[in-house]
Structure 1
Amino acid sequence: MGFEVWPEAIELGELFNEHGYELALVGGPVRDLLLNRPSHDLDFCTSARPEEFEPILRKWGHGFWDMGRKFGTLGAMKRREDGSEIGVEVTTYRSDTYDPDSRKPEVNYGDSLEGDLSRRDFTVNAMALRVPQCEFVDPFGGANDLQKKILRTPVDPEQSFDDDPLRMMRAVRFVAQLGFSIEPATAEAITNMVDRISIVSAERVRDELTKLLLSDNPHAGIEALVDSGLADEVLPEIPALQLEMDEHHRHKDVFQHTLMVLDRAIALETGPDGPVPAPDLTLRLAAIMHDIGKPRTRRFEAGGKVSFHHHDYVGAKMTRKRLKALRFDHHVVEDVTDLVALHLRFHGYIDEPWTDAAVRRYVRDAGHLYHRLNRLTRADATTQNKRKSQMFSDAMDDMEARVIELKKREDIDAIRPDLDGQQIMEILGLEPGPEVGRARKHMLDFRLDNGPTDYDAAVAELKRWYAEEA
């Protein structure tokens, strides 16, 4: 089997060999070699202990780091002639044992490459390439599984997932990233053991979910997450979308609709210089969360109709709670929550085009999320009725064109009242307090309704309002 191996891997292998140590390229880089996919960082394992190979790494590269020393891992960077860099991490052969109530391994050094490979998550990641001799090592049939595009554990799957439950999340993530399917016995073990995911930290689950959503095919990953039962544990709002439809099918399958919205939103992401560069975590999270308020708000109305009144606001509260529990960054939590809350806002425009004041309010309320909100709104219009679909698209085009025209005349992205708080207090003779806040809110509403006005007109409006309030 021939490989075009990174020259840095060969060079490092020769250095280890000179000192009498084994070195092998392992895991993702080997898998990517076989798939002809690029790898920007290289992972190795070695017979040497960290204190033995540290001098080799320090001499070979630069930017040495040792954050993983307690796990037997050291790393370095290598600068190439073209100015690019490649990162490497080297880990001593491992033979881990796990505490049943924790996914943190007790590190025991191993004595063989094959033993190290046996403790890896899937056979496609349990292949190695000894360097510098480029000897391919595949004790568990990973290359065959790679060809078949299946995920299988090197050892008994229940033992593997019991040792490290996070591997179950990695399985569904690889479905999305690599387009693989989960081998039946492995899939069955995941379904039987989903409750074990509870010992994994929210941050680790979040990281796997993020990688899934930013992959080439998050649709398949979300389906695998739900089918496996893992979603019931880590993102229960999504399987809850699988509502039983009434016998007349008066509403859509919300789960399938959500997956369609996800696909459509991804298709609306832009190039690197556009307003929503792909892949966009915020937009993709909003797409899968936008309708999670529907199960709680579903009502069967007279005449057989089904309603989901206020599912946008209910869903926004649910979104904030779930994303906070998963330890997403504060700005991600707030942005996704706002998108869910606003995702129905545009729909009134179709029946009756808005005034300029309403357009200004839409842009102001959307703020920096304006382009994402428009894409989420377009993605959510999944009707199969061509006439309705065209009407919706035309209305959105019209609104966006009006925003462009308004922006030529005024800075609607940064609308402020024509009078600030200090001016309001001076004009009305007020001290700081709630009354100033109410006056400022009125002047903001006045600005949104009427566009920019001169100072005298703003003062006259403030005095008129205050006289009525008094």
Structure 2
Amino acid sequence: MPKYHNYSKALHHKIFNVISEAAEDLSVDAYVIGGFVRDHILERGEPKDIDIVAVGSGIELAKKVSEKLPNKPKVQVFKNFGTAMLRSEDMEIEFVGARKESYRKDSRKPIVEDGTLEDDQNRRDFTINALALKLNKDGFGDLLDPFNGYDDLKKKIIKTPLDPDITYSDDPLRMYRAIRFASQLNFMIEAESLKAIKANNERIKIISKERIVDELNKIMLSDKPSKGFALLYKTGLLKKIIPELTALAGIDEVEGQTHKDNFWHTLEVVDNISENTDDLWLRWAALLHDIGKAPTKKFHKKIGWTFHGHEFVGAKMVYKLFKRLRLPLNEKMKFVQKMVLMSSRPIAIADDHVTDSAVRRLIFDAGDNIEDLMTLCEADITTKNPKRFKKYHNNFKLVRQKIQEVEERDHVRNFQPPVSGEEIMQTFGIKPSREVGLIKDAIKEAILEGNIPNEYEAAREFMLKKGEKLGLEVSSE
């Protein structure tokens, strides 16, 4: 494999010619480095984030580039970090001066000094991210690859430029990044690097939850998230951040009776759902759908292992987990809670003899999330027995059919009572009270049970009868 490569074709966008001219004006060497180069070689499309290294002032280079661009984009300067950023068309370009770094034990924030391109490549996290293309006219597009990152790309290997033990100890977030890249790119982490991650997993405590969750979300959105979560588990990092998941690992046996390993089952479910949705929060729901099984696991001589109420317990655990990880405690968290709480409901109605009222209640409780819930439940089928697999999927086809039939007839999704609380109060001449709530609930139950149709006239007639039973009289006003 040749050691010399020129990628001037990768630099076809006019912005690179502008940076080249600006670098010549300032008499500095400039390079595009990192993800842009890596993804071009891997043919993963063209990234919209571009990192430029100047052997000199990155801030001055950014200002000079802005001057040369027709629309003179604003340059955002971050003096504390010695960086600058501008946006041109749909690209975000960050400029930094080449630097070398050293670290203190208690912080991932480095002590920074000016350096050479080689110094800057030394500080990069992985060999595949240390690749640089020259932007100066002399050698425009030449690949500078001091750590054989090109070969590592072709071999699909994640490794650090320098000693991995020092690299991960200096900045422990790189451990998560290594696993994220392995998951996103379907690469292997080099053996020494993997060993160093295990040895340094305690260091992750100095990293903010927000930075870790950012990497977790990228792992979650990869094509096969199980690869990343399996590596997090095997390196001991997952237990540090989501112990609720690792508590599911292992198989217990009592009197010859076992249960499945719910951790590895969970990873299968996440992979299954990832084939059908890019929704980050639905993937989170798949990851957490069984977390209530560890605290609810019990063995009974007559029936074996049970996990009674694990959905309810798991839904409560979701809030604590989201709060601890500083994930959003808004509608996204409530959606994940709802999916975990309802994750077994469709299974209960996958039966030929199920009543329409059970289907109506499922539609009513799931609302707009009924399709997401069905997607989750189908992903939960991980049996390796072909006959069972086919049977379970056929059952869910029946459930979907029943849902469609009942919804077309009864319209209970996002149910709004045909008779409002205001009309109940006006009809009986009463103020907001317990009786109003009782009548509203009774109408809802009657519709869900199929005792009355979901129509105004039937609901009003039912309201009058219920009011009479409660001792209410129709107002003459």
Counterpart of 2:475 in structure 1 is none
- CA 1:19 to 1:419, structure 2 compared with 1: closer, same or farther past 3 Å? same
Partners of 1:466 and 1:98 lie apart in 2 by: 75
Counterpart of 1:422 in structure 2 is 422
Aligned length: 455
Counterpart of 1:48 in structure 2 is 56
- CA 1:241 to 1:228, structure 2 compared with 1: closer, same or farther past 3 Å? same
Unaligned segments of structure 2, at least 5 residues:
472-477
Aligned 8 A contact 1:243 1:295 in 2: no
TM-score in terms of structure 2 length: 0.88
* Matched-pair identity in %: 34
Instruction: Summarize the alignment of residues 7-406 of structure 1 with structure 2, pairs less than 5 Å apart.
Output: 7=12, 8-40=15-47, 41-61=49-69, 62=71, 63-66=73-76, 68-79=78-89, 85-106=90-111, 108-132=112-136, 133=139, 134-246=141-253, 248=256, 250-267=258-275, 269=276, 278-303=277-302, 305-329=304-328, 330-351=330-351, 353-406=353-406
- CA 1:54 to 1:145, structure 2 compared with 1: closer, same or farther past 3 Å? closer
Deviates further, 125-134 or 57-66? 57-66
Question: Secondary structure at the residue paired with 2:250?
Answer: coil
- CA 1:244 to 1:452, structure 2 compared with 1: closer, same or farther past 3 Å? same
- CA 1:370 to 1:69, structure 2 compared with 1: closer, same or farther past 3 Å? farther
Aligned 8 A contact 2:59 2:82 in 1: no
Aligned 8 A contact 1:57 1:64 in 2: no
- CA 1:117 to 1:30, structure 2 compared with 1: closer, same or farther past 3 Å? same
Q: Which amino acid is the alignment partner of residue 88 of structure 1? A: I
Cα offset, 1:237, TM superposition: 1.8
Q: Which amino acid is the alignment partner of residue 465 of structure 1? A: K
Q: Which amino acid is the alignment partner of residue 420 of structure 1? A: S
Partners of 1:363 and 1:325 lie apart in 2 by: 32
Partners of 1:438 and 1:186 lie apart in 2 by: 64
Cα offset, 1:122, TM superposition: 1.2
Cα offset, 1:99, TM superposition: 4.4
Aligned 8 A contact 1:417 1:447 in 2: no
Question: Secondary structure at the residue paired with 1:23?
Answer: strand
- CA 1:405 to 1:287, structure 2 compared with 1: closer, same or farther past 3 Å? same
Aligned 8 A contact 2:410 2:454 in 1: no
Deviates further, 158-167 or 446-455? 446-455
Q: Which amino acid is the alignment partner of residue 78 of structure 1? A: S
Aligned 8 A contact 1:26 1:126 in 2: yes
Question: Secondary structure at the residue paired with 1:64?
Answer: coil
TM-score in terms of structure 1 length: 0.90
Partners of 1:453 and 1:241 lie apart in 2 by: 43
Aligned 8 A contact 2:86 2:92 in 1: yes
Unaligned segments of structure 1, at least 5 residues:
80-84, 270-277
Partners of 1:395 and 1:288 lie apart in 2 by: 23
RMSD: 2.3
Q: Which amino acid is the alignment partner of residue 121 of structure 1? A: D
Deviates further, 162-171 or 66-75? 66-75
Aligned 8 A contact 1:418 1:444 in 2: no
- CA 1:67 to 1:100, structure 2 compared with 1: closer, same or farther past 3 Å? farther
Cα offset, 1:259, TM superposition: 1.8
What are the superposed Cα offsets for residues 144-186 of structure 1, whole Å, 9 maximum, x if unpaired?
A: 3223222222222222222211111111111111111222222
Q: Which amino acid is the alignment partner of residue 237 of structure 2? A: L
Q: Which amino acid is the alignment partner of residue 422 of structure 1? A: E
Aligned 8 A contact 2:23 2:30 in 1: yes
Partners of 1:15 and 1:394 lie apart in 2 by: 64
